[in-house]
Structure formats: structure tokens, C-alpha cells
């Protein structure tokens, strides 16, 4: 669910103390399409798993940028007309206002986490499958 305004972002219970965790382990263990792990007023940490052949769907964030870090699998990130092959260890930043998509092109799940600035989802949201 997309937030209507930045001020509607609900802070995580740990937002006052910051996030602390093994992000690689948490990302690899996640089997949900989307799991919002941590949200502050300005930033949001989201775990994602794309099934074989699945993508996130083309989208544009008009109010902020997005960072992706890939921990398992293989895929392609499309930013505008540019396509970038990604795998374990790859990182991609999507600038504000750019049409983009992430696709799993491998033979196993694509495991990644994303940082949104500002937050794009309500805190605590878990989507087992792509909505």
C-alpha cells in the first residue's frame, strides 16, 4: 500500500534506536515478495524475494530514490532504457523519477533488500505474494 504523504509514515517500534541486524541473513531467509522491516520518517528498509520469472512491475517514485542490494540469485534491473545484470553482491540506485523494474532472470529466487527514501509502504507490511 503506497503512502499518501510522507507524514503518514508509521515509525517502526525500533525507529527511535535504529536498525541492528544481520541484513544478509534476514534477506536470504525471507521468502515473502515484500516484507517491510524498518521504517523511519525519511528511510525504509524492505526485504524482497522474486520467484523465478517474476518482476516487481514497472514503477516510478516521483518523491524519492531507491537503493537495491542483491544477496542471492540473478536478475536484471531496468532503469529507463538502461538494463543492468545483477547477482549476489550487486547494488543499484534508482534516481528519483526514473521508470524502473527488477526481474528475476535466474533459475532460483532473487533475494534482495531495498532502501526507500522517503518510505513507500506502511511499516510492518508483509506481502507473501506479489499484490
Break the chain into its structural domains and give their ranges. Answer: 6-127
CB 43 within 8 A of CB 118: yes
Rounded Cα gap, residues 111 and 22, in angstroms = 14
Rounded Cα gap, residues 76 and 88, in angstroms = 12
**Distance between terminal CA atoms of the chain?**
9
Residues in the chain with pLDDT values less than 50: 1-12, 14
Q: What is the pTM of this model?
A: 0.84
Q: What is the pLDDT of residue 40?
A: 87
CB 109 within 8 A of CB 49: yes
pLDDT tens digits along 16-43: 678 889 999 999 999 999 999 999 888 9
CB 111 within 8 A of CB 23: no
Q: What is the pLDDT of residue 16?
A: 61
Concatenate the DSSP letters of all residues of 13-42 into one string: TTTTT---S-HHHHHHH--SSEEEEEE-SS
Q: What is the pLDDT of residue 82?
A: 97
Q: What would the CATH number be for the domain defined by 6-127?
A: 2.60.120.10
Amino acid at each position: 500500500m503506497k503512502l499518501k504523504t510522507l507524514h503518514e509514515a508509521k515509525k517502526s517500534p525500533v525507529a527511535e534506536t535504529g536498525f541492528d541486524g544481520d541484513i544478509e541473513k534476514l534477506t536470504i531467509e525471507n521468502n515473502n515478495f515484500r516484507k517491510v522491516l524498518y521504517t523511519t520518517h525519511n528511510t525504509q528498509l524492505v526485504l524482497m524475494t522474486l520467484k523465478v520469472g517474476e518482476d516487481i512491475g514497472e514503477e516510478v517514485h516521483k518523491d524519492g530514490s531507491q537503493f537495491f542490494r542483491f544477496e542471492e540469485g540473478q536478475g536484471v534491473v531496468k532503469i529507463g532504457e538502461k538494463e543492468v545484470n545483477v547477482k549476489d553482491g550487486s547494488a543499484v540506485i534508482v534516481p528519483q523519477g526514473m521508470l524502473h523494474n527488477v526481474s528475476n532472470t535466474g533459475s532460483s529466487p532473487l533475494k534482495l533488500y531495498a532502501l526507500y527514501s522517503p518510505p513507500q509502504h506502511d511499516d510492518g507490511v508483509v506481502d507473501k505474494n506479489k499484490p
